[in-house]
């Protein structure tokens, strides 16, 4: 038996982009009120460039969350990738691309393990990826004796740090932004494909999806692999932006999850859009910048993230069930 539903209202409420666009617009207005220069091309470009990694991670996290799972391992994967890259490159300019290929393979492998353990061994993804998080933290610590060794070459760092200079009207366009736009386009195509729709169906109701012939385990595993790939790209950009550090990925998993939730992706799966998740990440970064400009201590950032997760989940529980 179907429950009659008000179509217009529902469209705004469940997974639509309107709320996040409104929030972002409000924050941008507040930001420009305080800092009129913020939207000027050089400052905006640098903001978008440095926000690219967390936006990438939010896109990766979207695929996992919409399929009904969570990926807590991305932050430690980023750290691991940066530390591995530094040790393998060790300042050697020619080692850049081979190492990137290796990192991508490692990212895929971590995603595969996360996915297969979650689906085939039926361990809740929360536990699987928490385990992976701890394994990576410990392994990196052991492998590097507690302090990163080696260094990233300037060539490797270029992608995260440099830009197309002297672009008409915009000044400089960070390479990171170009990478981000390319990934965003690919992610959008992917969500519109059969795979993307299947993933949403799997997250919405895995049983129904299973019964209608979807191989749920394969779809979910693919989602984890995509998240691992996004983390790898983010690691290349972060390593480039700021160099090798044990802190490279600290807390990024929460940034990505908060961003996705803020962007209207429902924890538990089945609702949301990848554009929403990415806008959520930009909104979060804008919010942190705004806090800084208004002189709020950066120490409050985790508190704000926590409040957003709680509010978003609370708000979601008040939603009219869509089916």
Partner 1 sequence: MTVLAVSALLVLAACSTDEPTTGASGSPSGSTGSGTGPGTGSGTGEQSKFFVQADYDQQLALLDAAPTGPADKPWEQALNPEMVETAKFKKPGPYKICFSNAGLNNPWRQVGFKTMRAEVDTHRGRISEFVHVDAEGKDQKQIADINDLLGKGCHALIVSPNTTATLTPAVEAACRKGLPVIVFDRGVDTTCPVTFINPIGGYGFGHVAAEFVTQKMKRGGKVLALRILPGVDVLETRWSAAKVAFDKAGVDVVGVEFTDGDPARTKKIVNDYIQRYGTIDGVWMDAGAVAGAAVEAFEDAGKPVPPINGEDQLDFLKLWKEKKLTAIAPTYPTYQWRTPIIAALKILDGERVPNPWKLPQPTITQDNLDEYVDPSMPPLHYAMCGCTDLPGYPKRWK
Q: Are 264 and 311 in contact (CB under 8 A)?
A: no
Q: How many CB atoms lie within 10 A of CB 171?
A: 17
From candidates 14, 151, 205, 322, binder to partner 1 by CB under 8 A:
151
Stretch that binds partner 1, among 14-22, 99-107, 206-214, 296-304 (CB under 8 A): 296-304
Q: Are 106 and 81 in contact (CB under 8 A)?
A: yes
Stretch that binds partner 1, among 3-11, 17-25, 68-76, 211-219 (CB under 8 A): 68-76
From candidates 14, 46, 205, 322, binder to partner 1 by CB under 8 A:
46
From candidates 14, 35, 205, 322, binder to partner 1 by CB under 8 A:
35
Q: Considering only CA atoms, which of 31, 49, 29, 33 is closest in space to residue 41?
A: 49
What residues pair up with 174 in beta bridges, in sequence order?
Answer: 163
From candidates 310, 315, 319, 320, binder to partner 1 by CB under 8 A:
310
Q: Are 289 and 47 in contact (CB under 8 A)?
A: yes
User: Considering beta carbons, is residue 98 or 124 the nearer one to partner 1?
Assistant: 124
Task: In angstroms, give the least distance from the CB of 188 to partner 1.
Answer: 27
Stretch that binds partner 1, among 6-14, 37-45, 189-197, 212-220 (CB under 8 A): 37-45
> Interface with partner 1 includes 38 (CB under 8 A)?
yes
**Dihedral in degrees, nearest 10, Cα atoms 94, 97, 99, 102:** -150
> Interface with partner 1 includes 305 (CB under 8 A)?
yes
Q: Pattern 77-116, binding to partner 1, x per CB under 8 A? A: ----------------------------------------
Provide the H-helix boundaries in the chain: 7-13, 18-34, 41-66, 74-89, 96-119, 125-144, 154-161, 175-192, 194-204, 206-211, 216-242, 252-262, 274-293, 301-317
> Interface with partner 1 includes 13 (CB under 8 A)?
no
Q: Are 63 and 226 in contact (CB under 8 A)?
A: yes
Q: How far is it, in rounded angstroms, from Cα 216 to Cα 143?
A: 36
Stretch that binds partner 1, among 7-15, 99-107, 145-153, 200-208 (CB under 8 A): 145-153
Q: Considering only CA atoms, which of 293, 314, 304, 183 is closest in space to residue 251?
A: 304
Task: In angstroms, give the least distance from the CB of 295 to partner 1.
Answer: 8
Task: In angstroms, give the least distance from the CB of 89 to partner 1.
Answer: 12
- Binders of partner 1 among residues 201 to 230 (CB under 8 A) are none
Q: Considering only CA atoms, which of 254, 302, 280 is closest in space to residue 78?
A: 254
SS (H, E, C) 12-57: HHCCCCHHHHHHHHHHHHHHHHHCHHHHCHHHHHHHHHHHHHHHHH
For helices 74-89 and 96-119, angle between their N-to-C axes, nearest 10 degrees: 150
Angle at 256 (CA atoms; ends 203, 62), nearest 5 degrees? 25
Stretch that binds partner 1, among 32-40, 95-103, 112-120, 215-223 (CB under 8 A): 32-40
Q: Pattern 226-265, binding to partner 1, x per CB under 8 A? A: ------------x--xxx-xxxx-xx--x--x--------
Query: Contact residues for partner 1 (CB under 8 A)?
Result: 35, 37-38, 43, 46, 50, 70, 72, 75, 124, 126, 130, 145-151, 161, 238, 241-243, 245-248, 250-251, 254, 257, 267-268, 289, 292-293, 297-299, 301-302, 305-306, 309-310, 313
């Amino acid at each position: 038996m179907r429950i009659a539903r008000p179509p217009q209202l529902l469209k705004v409420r469940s997974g639509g982009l309107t709320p996040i666009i409104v929030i972002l617009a409000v924050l941008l207005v507040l930001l420009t009120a305080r800092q009129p220069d913020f939207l000027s091309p050089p400052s905006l470009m640098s903001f978008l460039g440095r926000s690219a990694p967390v936006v990438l991670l939010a896109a990766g996290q979207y695929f996992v969350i919409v399929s009904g799972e969570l990926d807590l391992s991305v932050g430690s994967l980023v750290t691991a990738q940066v530390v591995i890259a530094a040790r393998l490159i060790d300042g050697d300019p020619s080692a850049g691309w081979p190492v990137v290929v290796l990192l991508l393979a490692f990212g895929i492998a971590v995603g595969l393990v996360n996915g297969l353990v979650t689906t085939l061994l039926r361990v809740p993804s929360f536990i699987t990826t928490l385990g992976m998080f701890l394994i990576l933290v410990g392994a990196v610590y052991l492998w590097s004796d507690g302090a990163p060794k080696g260094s990233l070459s300037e060539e490797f760092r270029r992608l995260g740090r440099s830009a197309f200079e002297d672009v008409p009207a915009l000044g400089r366009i960070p390479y990171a932004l170009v990478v981000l736009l390319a990934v965003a386009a690919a992610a959008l195509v992917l969500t519109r494909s059969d795979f993307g729709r299947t993933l949403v169906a799997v997250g919405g109701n895995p049983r129904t999806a299973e019964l209608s012939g979807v191989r749920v385990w394969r779809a979910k595993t693919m989602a984890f692999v995509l998240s691992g790939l996004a983390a790898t790209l983010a690691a290349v950009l972060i390593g480039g932006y700021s160099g090798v550090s044990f802190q490279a990925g600290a807390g990024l998993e929460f940034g990505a999850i908060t961003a996705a939730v803020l962007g209207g992706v429902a924890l538990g799966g089945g609702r949301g859009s990848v554009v929403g998740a990415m806008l959520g990440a930009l909104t979060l970064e804008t919010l942190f910048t705004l806090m800084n400009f208004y002189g709020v201590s950066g120490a409050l950032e985790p508190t704000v993230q926590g409040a957003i997760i709680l509010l978003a989940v609370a708000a979601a529980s008040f939603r009219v069930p869509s089916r």
